[in-house]
Every structure is written in structure tokens, then in C-alpha cells.
Amino acid sequence: MQRDYKKAILRRARRVVVKIGSQILSSSTGIEEARLEALVSDLAALHDQGKEIVVVSSGAVAAGMTRLGRRERPQSIPEKQALAAVGQIRLMALYERAFGKFTKNVAQVLLTHEDLANRQRYLNAKHTFQMLLASSIISIVNENDTVAVEEMKFGDNDHLSALVATLLEADLLLILSDVAGVYDRDPRLDSDAVLLPLIQDIKDIKSKVIGSSRSVFGTGGMATKIAAAEEAAVAGIPTVITSGLTAGSIPRVFDLKEEIGTIILPDSNRLTNRKHWIAFNLKPAGEVVVDSGAHEALVRKKTSLLPSGVREVRGSFGVGECVRCLDLDGRGFARGLINYSALVLNQIKGLHTSRIEQALGYKPFDEIIHRDDLVLL
């Protein structure tokens, strides 16, 4: 069955985002240059076949550790940032030299979460990528660890790779892992773990993937890769997760006769680009707790959120910021752009829309969150 889906996906996969984690590029002694060069050779071959390639690569901190002779990954954010500043130069030099052997031009793109959360900067980044792709230049993307803080704690660029794939409306997200794909259990702990060659519903499998293995250099685990695949799936983008440690794994992914790794199919209920941006690019600035009636109306009837359904306001947020919607049991089920600040919302929560003007002296909106600005999770 995997082979049939694989043929359908890969035949139309022209624009591919490839995520290479630090666990692929590094060992306990630092950056594995031979492995990087082997991966670049495979990527250059894909590029020669007419594929548009964007690489999301970790490894700056690991490269910095190697350069400075450090053996243990630092714990403090400033130390990691300093090592990333040293290592990013080294990492890009390795990529430029390796791709240069195949007469390929590369570009460095450093991003932070804030770059993609700000709508204007998001669009600016998209335009830059489009120009690089049109010029047949291979972008090497990494987080701008020198200025990023919270982002360095999570995901080893898995989340970033999904955001980039969505930004570019890629045809495929390829995540190279240190295991052969997604298993029903952690293969490092259970020798009877079974590889799942095909996942048709990512949400169904997500809760079962609990293992979060870590290496000395990386910060990601399979859970973050599954989360990235889910982000891609709701944007209509399929994902392949396979080992990047096995020689020739990239060409095997694109060989229609081969069955390799795990293919995660896109969600049939695809989010629009704007709603995907709300759901995954923005960080919630606060929360609103809604009653059972509002919860049912939002989930089943796809309505807007009105003040009468709001029970509690948490956090300090302004107009237009992203907030999480929680049910009475504290479960998050939606995100949206709020029409009222937390201060004002506390004055009108629980009120019918007809009473907003009486309470405030004005009424800019009937809705707390309009359904066009609301994303169910």
C-alpha cells in the first residue's frame, strides 16, 4: 500500500523541503563531514533531476562545539548562542564547499519564530525564498540561534521545517531522522517495535508516540517530528520520515520501487495558508475559557465566539493577538485572533452582544473571535 501512495506523492513532488538534524550531522566527536558530503551528493542529484530543494539544517551548536573543542553540550542559553555564532560560519562553509563540487550555488537563510509570526516579515521571507528558487539556488535554513532564545529549547528545527514547507507550499517534507521511521513503540527500548510504513491519519497516531530520545548534540525526538508532520499535513503537504544515517536513503525515498521509512499523508481538511499561520506560527498571548454551549457551537457549528460564551479570561493580551480557547476541563481546542483586549474582555464576558455597547459605551465587534480568524485544533 505504501508504494501506491508513494507513487502518487512523488510523481508530483517538485518542491521538497529536507530537514537534516544535528543527530545526523554530528557524532560525539563533532560534525561528520563525510556524512554531510554524502547527503549533499544525493541532494545535488535530486536538484539535477529538476527538483527545487530547500534544506533546513541543524548543527550550528555542534559545529561550534567542535571548533572550540567542547565535548559536552552547554545548558545555558547564552552558551548555546555563542557556540551557534561560532559554528554557523563553519556549517555554511561545509555546505558551500560540498555543493560547490557539483556547481550548485547555496544561500544562507536564518530565521526566528518571530520572523514567521509577523505577517509582513512572513511574506518578505516567502518572496526571498521564491527568488532563490527561481534562480536555482539551494537555500540552507537554520534558526538564528544568536538572537533566538526560547526556540533553542525545542524541536531541533522540526517545527521550523514544517513552517518553511508551508511557507513555500512545498510538495513534500522529508525529515531525516536517526531511526528508520515512525514505530508503534520506541525501538531503542522495545526490540519488538514495528515500523509503520504508512500513516493516513496523523492525529490518530500522535498520542501514541511518546518517546523523545536525545543525543548529546540534538534537542529533538520523534514526538517533535510527528508534530511537524501534523503541521505539514493540515497544510496539505505529505511527509516522509526516514533514517539519514543510512547511505543512499534520499535516492531510495525517490525510487518508486522502494519502500522506505514512514509516509504521512496530508489531511483531507486542509487549512488555508492564513489559518495555518494562525495555528502554528503565532504564539498565544493568553487564553479564554468557554462554556459548553460555546464549545459545541464552535466545534460543531463552526460559528464565531461571542462574549456570552466566555467564562474566564487568562493573561494580558491586546487586540489582534492570538489566544487559545479552552473548554471547561482546561483542554485547548482552538486558536484565534482576538477582537478585544483582555482588560476589555473581562468587562463584557458572559454578556449578550446587545449589551456590549451599554457596558463599554461603544461596540466595535459582535464577535470576540470571528470564525474566519478561528482555527480548530
Residues 229-263 pLDDT 10s: 999 999 999 999 999 998 889 999 998 888 889 99
**Per-residue confidence (pLDDT) for residue 48, from 0 to 100:** 96
**Per-residue confidence (pLDDT) for residue 252, from 0 to 100:** 92
pTM assigned to the model: 0.84
**Per-residue confidence (pLDDT) for residue 11, from 0 to 100:** 81
Give every strand in the sheet of 286-290, ordered side by side: 310-315, 286-290, 322-326, 332-337, 374-376
Instruction: Flag residues of the chain having pLDDT under 50.
Output: 151-154, 210-220
**Per-residue confidence (pLDDT) for residue 209, from 0 to 100:** 58
Residues 2-17 pLDDT 10s: 667 778 888 889 999 9
**Per-residue confidence (pLDDT) for residue 72, from 0 to 100:** 78
**Per-residue confidence (pLDDT) for residue 154, from 0 to 100:** 42
**Domains of the chain (ranges plus CATH)?**
2-275 (3.40.1160.10), 284-376 (2.30.130.10)
Using only C-alpha atoms, what is the Rg of the chain? 22
Instruction: Assess contact for 55 and 248: CB atoms under 8 A.
Output: no
Instruction: Assess contact for 235 and 276: CB atoms under 8 A.
Output: yes
The backbone torsions φ and ψ at residue 315, rounded to the nearest 5 degrees and listed phi first, read: 95, 175
20, amino acid identity: I
**Per-residue confidence (pLDDT) for residue 2, from 0 to 100:** 65
